[in-house]
Chain A
């Protein structure tokens, strides 16, 4: 199987050692390229310079959701097929998701002060993302709580499954409720309601952010595998 590295720690280690340094260089280049593109991107006619916060806000929001989705999939796989590697991944990438969610909330708040005139509103999208942050923090705490490893892993996995109810709520909150937060601009693949000159740096920044997240995830997963091997 080609995709064996997704469920086998040894194969994952081998692959990670091969791709780690090229990934580091590529991520660095793409990040620099993205920052240059963001620097030269046009200003918004209403928002002015603050539109550039969007190039950090949107990728981190997407990656916060993506991290949780990956954790949900791995929880299902781990509980159903009893694959221990999925619990390693659950433990390793939860803090990354928490960091991305915090980044999303902070940048949104910095944008909201000059644009909406307030740091925080009790808007459906903002509240559901804040709840996502709380769920991430609870997952991190649960990972520190129990003594027995089996109890810890399964508890965290079941909690992740129950908490994944929040994902569709975040995604559709701008459509279901009448919110201050603007609806999605990119998801309509046929005709995105964002200009191409702004879409290009956004996509480059998204790729750069996901590569950085992937690099940190590889480091954390490898460290977690080493911890498991020491404890055995």
Chain B
């Protein structure tokens, strides 16, 4: 019971932090919409063209705008020592990372999910593609949260090269993009691709706590 209460308090604290920075989250979403506008201005307002490229644009912009806030993933907790305090309170680093990923998924990625239908209106996407987009984004954003956890824990002691974290997230999200957008190209193997995506998500849910915890321990030792 005490353990469940600890987890509940951890998530409650995360939610309080996220809602106190609500403007930050909103500006990420604003970045997403504004970059859609930029794309439309750059491509021209041809309706047929926008319908064909819309899905790819929405996915890549979702990816870019969710990497915007990655630097905050562990950095504040690491610098003011909260992560050590929680660890001393009886949670292993792996567990902290796992619930951190879950809370990032809940409080950062889910608001993007709410903005997908509005974004797809701008491109006049057919309803089946919007449905597929939402389905793949639920799975894909979990993978993105795991990747973000890995890259930001990797960069805890990195004081010079800030953009390398986003580069790593973009590099490893290539398969996610391929399978997510590929669902719409061929309707026959829909189940295969969804299963592949779920498989990648489960692999990363397994890898991310282990490797992030290793990076956090390394950073704490060398601080």
Contacts and interface: CB of A to CB of B under 8 A. Distances in A.
A151 B164 contact: no
Determine chain B's interface SS by DSSP, over half rule: helix
Interface in B151-196: 154, 157-161, 164, 167-168, 171-172, 174
Contacts of A154: 214, 218
B214 A145 contact: no
A160 to B, nearest CB: 12
Interface stretch (A38-46, A60-68, A130-138, A193-201): A130-138
Contacts of B221: 150
Given A141-B164, A145-B164, A158-B214, A151 B157 contact: yes
B161 A141 contact: yes
A145 B161 contact: yes
Interface size class of A (residues with CB under 8 A): 10 to 19
A142 interface: yes
Contacts of A102: none
B171, B172, B219: residue with the most chain A Cβ atoms closer than 10 Å: B171
A52 B217 CA distance: 52
Nearest to A163: B171
A231 interface: no
B137 interface: no
A21 to B, nearest CB: 39
A187 interface: no
Interface in A117-142: 131, 134-135, 138, 141-142
Interface residues of B, number: 19
A155 B211 CA distance: 10
B219 A151 contact: yes
B10 to A, nearest CB: 26
B148 to A, nearest CB: 14
A13 to B, nearest CB: 29
Given A138-B164, A148-B157, 14 more contacts: A131-B171, A135-B171, A138-B167, A141-B164, A145-B158, A145-B161, A148-B222, A150-B221, A150-B222, A151-B218, A158-B214, A158-B215, A159-B154, A159-B168
Contact of A162 (B172, B214, B218): B172
A146 interface: yes
Given A141-B164, A145-B164, A158-B211, A131 B218 contact: no
Contacts of B159: 147
24 contacts: A131-B174, A134-B171, A135-B171, A138-B164, A138-B167, A142-B164, A145-B158, A145-B161, A146-B157, A147-B157, A148-B157, A148-B222, A150-B218, A150-B221, A150-B222, A151-B157, A154-B218, A155-B154, A155-B215, A155-B218, A158-B214, A159-B154, A159-B168, A162-B172
Contact of B222 (A141, A151, A162): A151
Contacts of B167: 138
A131 B171 CA distance: 8
A140 to B, nearest CB: 11
Contacts of A147: 157, 159
The 5 closest A-B pairs by CB, nearest first: A148-B222, A145-B161, A151-B157, A151-B222, A151-B218
Contacts of B154: 155, 159
